[in-house]
Structure 1
Amino acid sequence: MAETNIIEKSQFAIKDIFAQLIVGNLPFAIWRMPSTESFNCVISTNEEPNWQKIDLEELGAGFAFAPFNYSEANQSLFIQGDIAFNFKSLEESLDQTIEDKLSNFFDLEKAVSSQSKVNLKVHSASVPAEKASFLENVKKGITAINDGFFDKVVLSREKKIERPDNFSPINHFANLSKKHSSAFCSLTYLPWENEIWIGATPESLVQQDAEGIFRTMALAGTQASVDSAGNNIETADALWRQKEIEEQAFVSRYIINCLKRIRVREFVEIGPKTINAGNLLHLQTTFKIDTKAIEFPQLGSVMLELLHPTSAVCGMPREAAQAFIKKNETYNRSFYSGFLGPVNIENNTHLFVNLRTLKASPEHISFYAGCGITGDSEPEKEWNETEMKLKTVMA
């Protein structure tokens, strides 16, 4: 910063700096871990896309952002942590450390002011054709299940609206982070695509900490966390239909089968139990493995390839369900239902399934939601489930 034009740091909130990074075409990711208050950020000084296989033992510190079809090419975007820092709030002022790290890349005088909150719900009316197409796909999925092609398939939809003139990605991310304290909240900027992805996902895919403890989860089954009168439903009082119980069991069995394939038998299984995530209730089973005790330090990378896409976002058996999705879904999922998260940040890696997410481009905003289809599915209820999920990111 030029010495002749000194600006008080108190004039600039952290979120103003991220607005300027978007203008400056530097790829970056901001995130807040579940049930925490502080934020983390990595910025790459390389404006070009960096596609990598996510090998946790080989990669440096950064942020992984993988598409749904990662399993086909073993390629994920990786935002290298050339610049990394953490902060307590998007509203806090710059401190000297952050200012020093960023000063070589843009002039703080040009920081873009944040814009007002936009309520996207008023723009979200569903068109009849969109619903008819989704219901038809659900019916096809149920028929394929009854004919024995697969046991479960996860079908999704894209809701696209015109981008409001005063939509602020940074403010929307801030609002989601406040609203969904138990979710992994993130904003990822891809300058070469001119896209910003924002989400609040409840589902952990792969976690491995500095002590070598590996964790994953089976998360499936969805219902509203409030009843018809608007009263909160306590997790202990949640009632689950056979369809949701079966759907969650599919995901749990899939994880156990993956562990069996690599001959890992020493794991702790907890659940299923009801959790509240993203203002929705889900069934969750967690799995924990001490990789040092079983002398398998590569477990995180191996399980990542085996697990993704899980039966919670694809189906079971995976290959047949994935083929059905490609044939029948009328849009490209891109990074929706892929995975994302910090890699080797302070020797910790935590990757999440990219659910409850939106994509903002200059002209449009796309929202994504899906649901697990089994033989007991009812098309209208599946549509309603996607509507509930869409509301979690339309803050």
Structure 2
Amino acid sequence: MITTTSKTNNYRQTLWNAAIQVGLPTAMWRLPKQTDKHFLTSFLKNPQQTKIDFEELGAGFAFSPFINPEGKDTYFLKADLHYIFNDTLHDDEGFEEIVSPSSVDPSFIELLNAQRTASKYSFGVGKNFVENSTTKEQFVTEVEAAIKQIEAEKFQKVVLSRAKKTALPSDFEIVTAFDKLCKAYPTAFVSVVSIPSLGIVWMGASPETLVSQDAHGKFRTMALAGTQSAFDAEGNPIKPSEALWRQKEIEEHALVSRYIVNCLKRIRVREFEEEGPKTVIAGNLMHLRMDFTIDTVEINFPQLATVMLELLHPTSAVCGMPKEPARQFILENEQYDREFYSGFLGPVNIQQESHIFVNLRTMKIQDGTATLYAGCGITVDSNPEKEWSETEMKLQTLGRTLFS
């Protein structure tokens, strides 16, 4: 382990440039309400696809698609090189913690040294692909079809989503964008993941924990559902304590909470703490959230995070209830492949902790083009026009921050 001090934003850019050019899978992240920024690189250019077992895997970063029925399609980026930055110690300097691997990719180190004064990596200017985005007419038709299926009692809820493609600005740069998201969304999990073998980069600011377990064995998950603007009609911020929720959002949140409780019942875990529901702010939006906490040491269940990850994904907050008919409706009706949107991602066994989040408020970067994603929960009380408006608000979470 080596500790140094340097201009962290420049050095993170240098690390990113080198990893991209060598073709190494890479992740950067910052956990909610923290200041440390992490940079992780795997020297395996085609990362392992595996089921996430927190007790068996070493340190690394998990990245799973939405469709992952047996959990075996999760990409695992082994922590061959792991840096921790904290740029709050001085105006432009911070602390770097470098975890060195047993063997270092020589081409990466050679390029890293050569790039200390290199310019920023450019994605190029993309074409305007707005015409290939999900249209309002398409989305409204999908919502109407979902409501009919709910009325026919095929399922209680389904989460429908849409994609919106746009060209990247000519000056778009990953590390700068990452830092902007960290500043704009201090309570979110901010991340960027690059898998060069797939030709993709994903960036996001997720408000939703799927599973986490700390060094003391405390397990956490949450039910996050129900959405409204965090601002009133005049553009003034609404206090969380003054938020008013419609029956539709209350019932939507209750479905997600019941889903988590039912998962715990399936594995006979009854000793858990609940906090909420409460109104929380996530960028320009407010949500209802219920937090669940379990002491795995006290109940002698160290495998809880592994078991719950398999049971929970995809949660009713991104899929629906019951899970299988809702998932089938999504696959048959959405006009695009979600890929990693509404999958999960996060650090595994980093500093003896694992934190996995739902991949929400996210976008894919490919061939100079950004594809942004947003979804909403459809129940029998849904209004197609209002659901479209909800997705518009969610798309603004990244769009306004990154492209303004």
Global fold match (TM > 0.5): yes
Distance 2:11 2:360 in 1: 28
Amino acid of the structure 2 residue aligned with 1:52: T
Look up the SS of the partner of 1:107 in the other structure: helix
Look up the SS of the partner of 1:30 in the other structure: strand
Q: 1:260 aligns with which of 255, 265, 273?
A: 265
Q: Residues 95 and 221 (structure 1 numbering): CA distance in 2 closer, same or farther, change over 3 Å?
A: closer
Q: 1:75 aligns with which of 67, 73, 76?
A: 73
- Counterparts in 2 of 1:187-336, with a 5 A limit? 187-336=192-341
Counterpart position of 2:30 = 32
Deviates more, 1:89-98 or 1:152-161: 89-98
Offset at residue 129 of structure 1 (A): 6.7
Residue by residue over 1:173-199, the C-alpha shift from the partner in whole angstroms, topping out at 9 and shown as x without a partner, is 121111111100001011101111100
Amino acid of the structure 1 residue aligned with 2:216: E
Amino acid of the structure 2 residue aligned with 1:109: A
Contact 1:19 1:170 in 2 (8 A): no
Amino acid of the structure 2 residue aligned with 1:303: M
Contact 2:67 2:343 in 1 (8 A): yes
Distance 2:156 2:146 in 1: 10
Amino acid of the structure 1 residue aligned with 2:120: S
Offset at residue 52 of structure 1 (A): 1.1
Contact 2:159 2:320 in 1 (8 A): yes
Q: 1:379 aligns with which of 371, 381, 384?
A: 384
Offset at residue 67 of structure 1 (A): 0.6
Q: Residues 98 and 294 (structure 1 numbering): CA distance in 2 closer, same or farther, change over 3 Å?
A: closer
Residue by residue over 1:28-48, the C-alpha shift from the partner in whole angstroms, topping out at 9 and shown as x without a partner, is 111001111110121101111
Look up the SS of the partner of 2:17 in the other structure: helix
Contact 1:14 1:94 in 2 (8 A): no
Q: Residues 125 and 326 (structure 1 numbering): CA distance in 2 closer, same or farther, change over 3 Å?
A: closer
Amino acid of the structure 2 residue aligned with 1:137: E
Counterpart position of 1:107 = 112
Distance 1:100 1:310 in 2: 36
Offset at residue 127 of structure 1 (A): 7.9
Counterpart position of 2:157 = 152
Residue by residue over 1:316-364, the C-alpha shift from the partner in whole angstroms, topping out at 9 and shown as x without a partner, is 0000000000000111111000000010011101100000001101232
Offset at residue 13 of structure 1 (A): 3.6
Amino acid of the structure 2 residue aligned with 1:76: T
- The question of 1:21 aligning with 2:26 is answered no
- Counterparts in 2 of 1:39-50, with a 5 A limit? 39-50=37-48
Structure 2 unaligned residues grouped into runs of 5+: none
The number of equivalent residue pairs is: 386
Contact 1:85 1:98 in 2 (8 A): yes
Q: 2:372 aligns with which of 367, 370, 374?
A: 367
Counterpart position of 2:49 = 51
Distance 1:251 1:186 in 2: 24
Counterpart position of 1:358 = 363
Offset at residue 21 of structure 1 (A): 2.1
Structure 1 unaligned residues grouped into runs of 5+: 1-7
Contact 1:14 1:93 in 2 (8 A): no
Distance 2:42 2:297 in 1: 32
Q: Residues 379 and 193 (structure 1 numbering): CA distance in 2 closer, same or farther, change over 3 Å?
A: same
Deviates more, 1:255-264 or 1:123-132: 123-132
Contact 1:115 1:171 in 2 (8 A): no
Counterpart position of 1:3 = none
Look up the SS of the partner of 1:70 in the other structure: coil
Offset at residue 74 of structure 1 (A): 2.8
Q: Residues 337 and 271 (structure 1 numbering): CA distance in 2 closer, same or farther, change over 3 Å?
A: same
Q: Residues 76 and 128 (structure 1 numbering): CA distance in 2 closer, same or farther, change over 3 Å?
A: closer
Counterpart position of 2:61 = 63
Offset at residue 314 of structure 1 (A): 0.0
Counterpart position of 2:137 = 132
Contact 1:218 1:284 in 2 (8 A): yes
Matched-pair identity in %: 49
Distance 1:97 1:218 in 2: 34
Contact 2:147 2:378 in 1 (8 A): yes
Amino acid of the structure 2 residue aligned with 1:114: K
Offset at residue 113 of structure 1 (A): 2.5
Distance 1:183 1:174 in 2: 13
Give every structure 1 segment of 4 or more consecutive aligned residues whose post-TM-superposition deviation is greater than 3 Å: 8-13, 89-103, 123-129
Contact 2:130 2:164 in 1 (8 A): no
Give the aligned CA root-mean-square deviation in angstroms: 2.7
Offset at residue 25 of structure 1 (A): 1.2
Offset at residue 92 of structure 1 (A): 4.9
Residue by residue over 1:102-147, the C-alpha shift from the partner in whole angstroms, topping out at 9 and shown as x without a partner, is 873523333542389x9x9xx7978897111011000000110001
Q: Residues 292 and 128 (structure 1 numbering): CA distance in 2 closer, same or farther, change over 3 Å?
A: closer
Q: Residues 100 and 63 (structure 1 numbering): CA distance in 2 closer, same or farther, change over 3 Å?
A: closer
Amino acid of the structure 1 residue aligned with 2:162: R
